[in-house]
Chain A
Amino acid sequence: MRAPSTPSTPVTHRRVPTAILVVYALLLALGLGLASAYWALDGEPPFGTLRLGSWQAWPKLGSPEADPYMRALLARRSDVPLATGEGLGFTATTDSEGRPLDSACSYSIGPVAPAARLWTLSLYDAEGRLPATELRRQGFTSAEVLRDARDQFTIALSRHLQPGNWLQLPASGTFSVVLRLYDPPGAAGANLEEGDFPAIRRLGCGA
């Protein structure tokens, strides 16, 4: 039996742990680095968000100045963004008061939309697909939406039949609304104001 002597302790302490600590540091780097990259690419681009009320857009997404996160996201989603000059897409996942859009509720969208040669408003379910509903209509364009005498419109989002511009919501879950402005005047994303955008008002929930 060897008595534990003081000079031998630092040796046993240092030899084995150094290799283990290096492996630990590398694994930590790999794990955290890849996990955070994966996490960053799972949602929406983290930077360059233009927020107007409940509407969000990434004006740089379709330009040569797109940041590395945007490029990585596009590659991962196999997405083709609207280019600056072609138009700009705005996404809403909440109503005007910040509550998530839920297909159990009814909403009204209106009364104005920003100036553009054409705009389209489309519904997507939680997975980003066009919802399959009995109505078989998933959106409106500025050319087909019904307007009142003051040139304003109201689109009703509900699971149940509504008069006027009605879009049927998917059977369950959250959903999102995308407003795409095609060929807007001026540079995309510039000189747009919150007041130009339609408000999403929740009318009621349940049944």
Chain B
Amino acid sequence: MRGFGRFLIATLSGLVLAVGVHIAAILASPYLAEQDAFAKIQPTLTADKAQIIGAPGGENTWLPRPDPAVAVAACAFDLRNGPMRVAAKTGALPLSFSFHKKTGGVFFAVTDRAAIRGELEIVAMTARQLDEARAAEDENDPSRDVRIVAPEQQGFVIVRVAAPTPSLRRQAEETAKAVSCTAEQDA
């Protein structure tokens, strides 16, 4: 009977520890994942233009469940090299940007409805870079940049351009490819 009691205590402590292991595994997995979206987009870090990761039609892409009507392009950023400026010329096709942290999770998104005179331009920076930019700014001529503070130094931007009809798919892909992502040198 006594042996059984000890066995019961061991099982209970095992169950309690299992809950801890479960929570730790779930919380750690975005940091430990080696095949997540950032790992696949990272090679685009040096490119000046967004790179297509899912062409419309949904072929040859690692994206799960690709939308065949949407061109998806991406550029990775590393804010240790300075703030990153993402700029697109908008047209008739619906276009949107979403900003993702390295460990997954969206921190900002915007559609072309926010475009000014056919241009959508966003600058992603760290909180420190924002302070520096504000300090360096001329009070009489404030910058008109839309500035977004990124919670992590590394991440990626996803550009989606939708093609309402199949004949517009090529145009959607060209629009997505033409989006520029450039690291700004600290002024």
Contact = CB atoms under 8 A, between A and B. Distances in A.
A binds B: yes
Interface of A: 10, 13, 17-18, 21-22, 24-34, 36-37, 40-41, 62-64, 66, 68-69, 71-72, 74-87, 117-118, 120, 122, 124, 128, 130, 138-139, 141-144, 178, 180, 182-183
Contacts of A79: 37, 63-64
A76 to B, nearest CB: 6
11 contacts: A24-B10, A29-B14, A71-B30, A76-B33, A78-B33, A78-B62, A82-B98, A85-B111, A86-B98, A138-B68, A182-B94
A81 B20 CA distance: 28
Interface residues of B, number: 63
Nearest to B59: A130
7 closest pairs, A vs B, by CB? A33-B21, A28-B14, A29-B17, A143-B164, A83-B109, A83-B98, A32-B18
Nearest to B12: A25
B37 A78 contact: yes
Interface of B: 2-3, 6-7, 9-11, 13-22, 24-27, 29-30, 33, 35-37, 39-40, 58-59, 62-70, 72, 74, 94, 96, 98, 100, 103-111, 113, 158, 160, 162-166
Contacts of B35: 78
B100 A80 contact: yes
Contacts of B65: 122, 124, 128, 178
A22 B10 contact: yes
Contact of B64 (A21, A28, A71, A128): A128
A120 to B, nearest CB: 5
Contact of A84 (B18, B27, B109): B109
